[in-house]
Amino acid sequence: MTSQEEQPSNFLEIDHPQSWIVGRITEFAAKPAQNELKHVQQLSPASLAYLGDAVYELYIRSYYLLPPRRVSDYHHQVVAQVRAESQAAQLRSLTPHLTAPELEILRRGRNAATGRPRRLDPEIYQQATSLETLFGYLYLTDPQRLAQLLTHLKLETI
């Protein structure tokens, strides 16, 4: 038996990447100590949205990773989900699951969305930015809650 055969590959045994990536998010984003929370509170909504955009895209990329496909197919699926219009729709579906403090983070993110692409309605851009702000905030402060909300996303399956 070769060393490769001796090590089981958990990656290939995954039923769906959603559970895998949610586990990775909670594994890598440790809940911060109380004194670190003060620093997170000082971050601008734009900074949180910047981080939240990356967290969301990583989740979406991981979600569509299996079954294996051509890279161009991955790309089209991911782009469809990370567009501002799709993020705004995701926010609308998540809103009933949000707490009062999370709604406050959304408000801060919405108010921080100043510039926008010309093709977008300002309200759509604000909603997408507020979702990214929430995801960035939760990634830093409560990764378990982030993972919980990510499982509520209504994503297309192929």
Report, as residue numbers or ranges, the catalytic residues.
53
Distance CA 105, CA 63 (A): 25
Identify whether the C-beta of residue 96 lies closer than 8 Å to the C-beta of residue 29: no
H/E run at residue 110? helix 100-112
DSSP state of 32: P
Identify whether the C-beta of residue 151 lies closer than 8 Å to the C-beta of residue 18: yes
Tokens 């990329």, residue?
Answer: 61
H/E run at residue 36? helix 34-42
